Structure 1
Amino acid sequence: MDGDRHDSREYLRDDRPRRRGGAGRLGAAVVATILAVAAFLGYRGELPGWPTLERVPAAAPAVVAPRPPLDPVAVAAGIEPVLVNINVSTKPFGVGAAGSGIVLTADGQVLTSHHVVKGAESVKVTRVSDGLVYDAQVLGYDSSTDIALLGLVGATGLTTARLGSSSGLRLRDEVLAIGNAGGTGEPTAVAGRISDLDSTILALNSADLSRKALSGMVEISAEVSSGQSGGALADHSGAVVGVIAAASGDREDEDPGVQAQRPPVGYAVPIDTAMRVVRQIRSGTPTETVHVGPTATLGVLISDARPSGARVDVAIYGLPAHNAGLADGEIITSIDGKTVTSARALRAAINKHKPHDIVELGVSGPGGQRTVRVVLAPGTPN
């Protein structure tokens, strides 16, 4: 839901002001050793802070024979033609942010992380292999899995990624994470091994301290970097088996001495999970978590009401809710005749609508219960 303070994340997005120019090609040298953890701070106009992560490890499977060795240079060379850099202008301040993406179709469908395009007013995509720049539209997204699908305007004949299956991944498998590290436009690859196949992480947004839980994540013993979000996690054969999403950072439950000794790790959304979201978006049918097409907005900041409903914390001036007469502190109790039990329930209902749809809200306030008709406005991915 637009403006919901309880569902925002930054993860690995690079929020430094963007520099102009084509993307650089990946050099022959590949970062194959784990680097020291860098302390990225800030949100707007800077590299975001690392998320706080609380991990629930899965039980280790039985020991099996190792995979063939990974050749980082060869795998990186195969991924480069299907990798893109993503640059967005975000609300409310219009600052630049950057991430990575993976080309899925010849006509320009690109897989990336939801948080890379969250709040984006405009999206530009640069092909790593030749620096060609496209305007992009957000075709759909799922914040619960941190996956988004973009469409490049006017794209044809693009080289597409070879997708593997995350169901066959095993502990200790060698993998390569590659993306737009640091938002510089120069893709960087870092090798590591899978250390968990079913991590549950709690990601902390350093800007507003909101948290988002992601489950079923692949943990890798490699230091992924800011800007690599949406990039590829590839196996020894060069197949894409995951979408880079987050990295470890300072933990609230550890003292600084322990934090300094803990090796960095990265997290990726399994490709099977990502492609389930992609197929849902392509179907054109939204769900409670998957949004399809342009985003509609009420123009409110909301929170859970007690005992039930969605409390209007702020009705943003000039946007639909404010224009319809909703006031701060009022409770939205229903939408189109269906009971709203929480802020999440209201978000799910709005998620199924498109801009310019008319919704009927039941509202409770100092003057009692009333019904309000609201025309939804175009919004940014949320």
Structure 2
Amino acid sequence: MKHNEKSLVSVALLIVVTVFFTVGLILGGGALSVEAAQNLEAASPNVFLGPDTIQTIVKQAGPAVVKIETETQIQNNDDPFLNNPFFRDFFGEQYKRKPGLTKALGSGFIISKDGYIVTNNHVVAGAEKIHAYLTNRKEPYAAKLIGSDEQLDLAILKIDAGDDLPSLEFGDSNKLEVGSWVIAIGNPYGLDHTVTVGVISAKGRPLSINGNQFTDLLQTDASINPGNSGGPLINLQGKVIGINTAINAQAQGIGFAIPSSTVTQVVDQLINEGKVIRPWLGIYMQPITKELANYFGLQETEGVLISAVAENSPAQKAGLKRGDIILEYNKKKMNDPDRLKKEVSNAKIGEKVVVLIYRDGKTIFVPIKIEAK
């Protein structure tokens, strides 16, 4: 592609990078720069992986996968990642963001016949214009951002393209087994509707990406590259069980996807409210170490210690105090703050839960009404 020296238009590789311990992770395979790139019928649960299985699923699912192009006006090069010498050396100076108009690419998929699209938040965050390309049309549709959540890295778009669009259904990621076959469809490096196949390598991966704490990601060896962000990860029933979100920047065959069980919990909120309304308990927690167990007189390292209670929170209203140890949440044993966070996040606003706490050598059942944060 030739550049006009006088033009303010510049193209950058919009890959958000972070490091988890010593491993570099690229969000979603990233939203890929344009220059750098140049409803299903459910099958039987017992799917036989025959010679035509993948082809059949791809033919059915492919039309519902969209290419997303965004336009963002960059005022100055203030990206905290690409300004960092480590990442600048990693990507090279040619990918440095410059003032002007930046175009980037990502993926998404249609979830309703009237044009609602799921993608990653980092694909569309800050975009002034969003366009969605469908397989049967060269010209893009203008897409409107309906709702987004930075913490979950999810966004919902809407296009006006009639009421009979191809769409994908969500499957249940909780039923996935490690080793299950999966199919990734997206636009890596701008190569429309690229299909890759792999397996679920692991479940429940906790990762810290760009300051966000993910506690339940799917890991897959299906090839995911820059531009795959927001694309579907599909099971052999042709249903979406994950949204491709991140790759390991220093290895091959290590990609991560947001499980469908997380997405389906918030899709309606994003469509109707434009944001995720989170249930709240209002406590700060830490795990019980052997030293803490001895200090509090516990026989083993069980429970989660409350290190602080937020003012006017559900926990404070219920009478929880700093120094209480939560042993159970709705009859489920709690030994990990992350697990308790997940349980609370799955609760409904207004739901009444019961926690078993240990205080002053005694156990007490405490009812709590979950509120919106």
Q: What is the TM-score with the length of structure 1 in the denominator? A: 0.53
> Which has more radius of gyration?
2
- Do structure 1's residue 136 and structure 2's residue 129 form an aligned pair? no
Q: Residue in 2 aligned with 1:267?
A: 256
- Do structure 1's residue 224 and structure 2's residue 224 form an aligned pair? yes
Q: Residue in 1 aligned with 2:72?
A: 90
Task: Say if 1:67 and 1:183 are closer, same or farther in 2 by CA, change over 3 A.
Answer: same
Once the two structures are TM-superposed, the CA of residue 277 in structure 1 deviates from its matched residue by: 1.9
Q: Secondary structure at the match of 2:163?
A: coil
Structure 1 residues 60-104: Cα deviation after superposition (integer angstroms, max 9, x where no partner): xxxxx9964273322221211111110000242420011111101
Which of 156, 160, 165 does residue 163 from structure 2 map onto? 156
Once the two structures are TM-superposed, the CA of residue 48 in structure 1 deviates from its matched residue by: 2.9
Q: Secondary structure at the match of 2:106?
A: strand
- Do structure 1's residue 109 and structure 2's residue 116 form an aligned pair? yes
- Do structure 1's residue 198 and structure 2's residue 187 form an aligned pair? no
Q: Secondary structure at the match of 1:224?
A: coil
Map 1:144-293 to 2 at 5 A: 144-184=151-191, 186-203=192-209, 210-250=210-250, 262-284=251-273, 286-287=275-276
Once the two structures are TM-superposed, the CA of residue 50 in structure 1 deviates from its matched residue by: 5.7
Map 1:317-356 to 2 at 5 A: none
8 Å contact kept, 1:50–1:248: no
In 2, the alpha carbon distance for the partners of 1:267 and 1:79 equals 20
Structure 1 unaligned regions, length at least 5: 1-15, 18-42, 56-64, 204-209, 251-261, 291-382
8 Å contact kept, 1:178–1:231: yes
In 1, the alpha carbon distance for the partners of 2:57 and 2:139 equals 22
Task: Say if 1:176 and 1:286 are closer, same or farther in 2 by CA, change over 3 A.
Answer: closer
**Structural RMSD (CA):** 2.8
In 2, the alpha carbon distance for the partners of 1:183 and 1:127 equals 14
Task: Say if 1:215 and 1:132 are closer, same or farther in 2 by CA, change over 3 A.
Answer: farther
Higher mean alpha-carbon deviation, 69-78 vs 215-224, is at 69-78
Map 1:51-66 to 2 at 5 A: 51-53=18-20
Once the two structures are TM-superposed, the CA of residue 156 in structure 1 deviates from its matched residue by: 2.9
Once the two structures are TM-superposed, the CA of residue 248 in structure 1 deviates from its matched residue by: 0.9
Which of 74, 77, 89 does residue 59 from structure 2 map onto? 77
In 1, the alpha carbon distance for the partners of 2:72 and 2:180 equals 37
8 Å contact kept, 2:112–2:165: yes
Letter paired with 2:147: G
8 Å contact kept, 1:53–1:248: no
Once the two structures are TM-superposed, the CA of residue 278 in structure 1 deviates from its matched residue by: 1.1
In 1, the alpha carbon distance for the partners of 2:227 and 2:278 equals 25
8 Å contact kept, 1:111–1:230: yes
Higher mean alpha-carbon deviation, 137-146 vs 89-98, is at 89-98
In 1, the alpha carbon distance for the partners of 2:235 and 2:112 equals 20
Q: Residue in 1 aligned with 2:13?
A: 46
Task: Say if 1:170 and 1:67 are closer, same or farther in 2 by CA, change over 3 A.
Answer: farther
Task: Say if 1:228 and 1:269 are closer, same or farther in 2 by CA, change over 3 A.
Answer: same
8 Å contact kept, 1:52–1:249: no
User: Aligned pair count?
Assistant: 223
Q: What is the TM-score with the length of structure 2 in the denominator? A: 0.54
Letter paired with 1:280: Q
In 2, the alpha carbon distance for the partners of 1:91 and 1:273 equals 32
Quote the sequence identity (%). 25
Letter paired with 2:264: M
In 2, the alpha carbon distance for the partners of 1:51 and 1:128 equals 33
Q: Secondary structure at the match of 2:171?
A: coil
Task: Say if 1:190 and 1:52 are closer, same or farther in 2 by CA, change over 3 A.
Answer: farther
Structure 1 residues 121-152: Cα deviation after superposition (integer angstroms, max 9, x where no partner): 00011112433521011000111111100011
Structure 1 residues 228-279: Cα deviation after superposition (integer angstroms, max 9, x where no partner): 11111001121111111111113xxxxxxxxxxx542111111121122211
Q: More helix by proportion, 1 or 2?
A: 2
8 Å contact kept, 2:143–2:158: yes
In 2, the alpha carbon distance for the partners of 1:287 and 1:74 equals 35
In 1, the alpha carbon distance for the partners of 2:272 and 2:69 equals 27
In 2, the alpha carbon distance for the partners of 1:289 and 1:279 equals 13
Task: Say if 1:101 and 1:126 are closer, same or farther in 2 by CA, change over 3 A.
Answer: same
Letter paired with 2:201: S
